[in-house]
Amino acid sequence: MNMKFLVILLGIFSTPILLQAQTDARPAYARDNVNAVLWQQKSGEYRALAYQAYNFARFGLDCALQNRSKKPRCVVVDVDETVLDNSAFEGYELHKGVSYDQNDWLLWTSKAAADTIPGALSFLKYAEKKHVEVFYITNRGKIEYEATLKNLQKFNFPFADAKHLLVKDNTSDKEPRRKQVAESYNIVMLCGDNLNDFSDMFYLKDQQSRNATVDEARQLFGTRFIIIPNPTYGDWESPVYQYKKGLTEQEKADKRMEAIKGF
């Protein structure tokens, strides 16, 4: 057997081993999101829940329009996982073997390549036909403003313009921006994947308080508050970590496991 042939054989048989070694080298926490991302990208159940949410939104809007309003009416929506689908970014991070990289996120949003959440565009166009304006309140930063606008305009989302897109300023609490809109408009509905998209009564609360507030506000969900499923991330995670800053990804993974109930 000549040396050249031996090198080729070694290359063929060692490649799967090397790939396996690279995969195994990824920290376990980097794979925690696999089922969530896969469910969002592939399952009919996710699509059905998104359509169901926006069907409720249409019904709730019709009910709200039966009441007189001195101010022009509007709907307030979040952007990420509410009208735009970022699961491709989550998939990128999984393949890369990291939980989250801010530079990757900025690269992703700069591409203005996110697809739409099922049902979102048709509902907001329905609102436009009913002479209800749409405000997009997002915690994307100012550096992401132009690309976010471009992404929304690519799909012809109604009211996707400078007046109606409000990005994060100096706080992740959206209440000041909602109040800014409410000065001139009657907010008849809010749509989001995160409780903080609806009211500051959920903001920075511990897990027990958050859940108790949901129970108290249960009649608002499906009527005034329309929540879109998001299994991959959200402000529900921070209470799991007791809002502690500076935790490593491994420490976060450990706390996630500790929080899961068994029998």
What DSSP string runs through 135-169? Answer: EEE----GGGHHHHHHHHHHTT-TT-STTTEE---
State the pTM of this model. 0.89
Provide the pLDDT for residue 31. Answer: 87
Multiple choice CATH, 30-259, 3.30.110.40, 3.40.50.1000, 3.40.1440.10, 1.25.50.10: 3.40.50.1000
Provide the pLDDT for residue 260. Answer: 93
Provide the pLDDT for residue 3. Answer: 53
Count how many residues are written for the chain: 263
Task: Look at residue 246 and give its three-state secondary structure.
Answer: coil
> What is d(CA 134, CA 125) in angstroms, rounded to the nearest whole number?
9
Provide the pLDDT for residue 1. Answer: 53
> What is d(CA 46, CA 241) in angstroms, rounded to the nearest whole number?
27
**Conformational region of residue 159, where left means phi above 0, alpha means psi within -120 to 50, and beta covers everything else:** left
47 vs 39, 80, 87, 116, 160, CA distance in Å?
Answer: 10, 16, 13, 11, 24
DSSP E strand stretches across the chain: 73-77, 84-85, 115-116, 133-137, 165-166, 186-192, 225-227
What is the number of alpha carbons within 13 Å of residue 79 lying toward its C-beta? 28
Q: Which amino acid is at 151?
A: N
Contact 46, 229 (CB under 8 A): yes
Q: Which amino acid is at 149?
A: L
Could you tell me which residues come within 8 angstroms of residue 6 by beta carbon, excluding any fewer than 6 positions away? none
Radius of gyration of the chain from its Cα atoms, rounded to whole angstroms = 22
β-bridge partners, 165? 136
What is the number of alpha carbons within 13 Å of residue 197 lying toward its C-beta? 30
Cα-Cα-Cα-Cα dihedral sign, residues 76, 85, 237, 212: positive
Give the N- to C-terminal CA distance of the chain in Å, as an integer: 60
Phi, psi of 260 (to 5 degrees): -80, 135
* pLDDT tens, per residue, the chain with 263 residues: 555 544 444 454 454 444 444 555 678 888 889 999 999 999 999 999 999 999 999 999 999 999 999 999 999 999 999 999 999 999 999 999 998 999 999 999 999 999 999 999 999 999 999 999 999 999 999 999 999 999 999 999 999 999 999 999 999 999 999 999 999 999 999 999 999 999 999 999 999 999 999 999 999 999 999 999 999 999 999 999 988 988 998 999 999 999 999 99
Tokens, residue 261 = 């109930």
Provide the pLDDT for residue 148. Answer: 98
